[in-house]
Structure 1
């Protein structure tokens, strides 16, 4: 079942490679070299779990639960606005974020932030569960399970790549100015995603 496996990899990568809240968060943790493994595992395994749920048919239920998605949408908007504000504040005081001299965010706080960015984004449910679930089920049985395996592998590899690959940028981020630029980009990214959720709806 090589073809469904490859389709899963391609579909998974096409959905997660765009710059978004998750990718920005993982990239920043990778550059700081803080709790990279837990972050990569949370993002990768969450995608795998949701893809499995979508293929198993739960995506069909989620697609028909507009109230639940609305609650998640506005929760996501509020969280993204808060995260954009904290990134903006860091950009104003970049001297405390020089690589190797950071504030040393706790594992608990990092995990909670990663879970919020992951689970308070309705696009995760629509893209990963509904869309991937639909594509996966089109592969038939047992092809759909190979599709899930391919999608899961793509997610884990991608997040590991940007999480651990970001270490190559550590030298560049050895100055406060570089951190100001990164956190400025993160803040803008979060604001754009929040605005799309708030004014464009879930399907934005």
Structure 2
């Protein structure tokens, strides 16, 4: 049991640690917002990340590959929402608030943003399904629950730790918050444009 739990935990860390849309959103929130909002974003991101990991573990990628319209819908919404978030970050770089307690987002906006950076990328879902689904197929049936539990634990520890670490040292980065915003925004726009290109490619190719 411990062996498979640890395997899942290590796999989960390798799965969530590389810089992506989720990490960028959590980092940016921790740099600018209050501790309460930072942990709110981290918690919601964790919930969506765990739901995605479990779905990938049981092969939701196959549904996206099977249902063409579902894939197109995710690509289109992902393109629009992630571009919107990226542009918002760049625009906010020109009006950084000194008081991190000001300008908190509504819960609905946070949920939509966290959902977008987690779920609105069909390629990530398909890749995740291949990785996690592949592991699921190779595990003894009675041990798979411990493996996916380890993956979920990694998500909780990673995002809560990331939020806490960046939030604690954010004051040291006050002078470069503007540029961090711009860089994060540009990377998110890049991710969004990739989704837009994939949407066009899926329609015309």
Q: So what's the TM-score if we normalise by structure 2?
A: 0.83
**What RMSD over aligned residues (CA atoms) do the two structures have, in Å?**
2.4
Write the distance in 2 (CA, Å) between the matches of 1:143 and 1:111: 32
Q: How far apart are the structure 2 equivalents of 1:100 and 1:50?
A: 30
The gaps in structure 2 that reach 5 residues or longer are none
The change in CA–CA distance for 1:98 and 1:123 in structure 2 (over 3 A counts) is farther
Which residue does 2:197 correspond to in 1? 199
Q: Structure 1, residues 139-182: CA drift from partner, whole Å, max 9, x if none?
A: 121121111011111111111111111122221243xx422111
Report SS of the residue matched to 2:178: helix
Match of 1:178 in 2: 176
In structure 2, the residue matched to 1:133 is 133
CA contact (8 A) 1:35 1:110 kept: no
* CA 168–179 in structure 1, closer or farther in 2 if over 3 Å, else same: same
1:46–1:2 distance in 2 versus 1, CA, 3 Å: same
Runs (4+) of structure 1 exceeding 6 A deviation are none
* Structure 2 counterpart of 1:187: 185
SS in 2 for 1:105: coil
**Quick check: 1:47–1:128 contact (8 Å CA) kept in 2?**
no
Secondary structure class of the residue paired with 1:171: helix
Q: What's 1:29 paired with?
A: 29
Q: Given the alignment, which residue of 22, 46, 66 partners 2:68?
A: 66
Aligned pairs for 1:48-87 within 5 A:
48-87=50-89
Q: Going by fraction, where is helix more abundant, 1 or 2?
A: 2
* Residue 197 of structure 1, CA deviation: 2.3
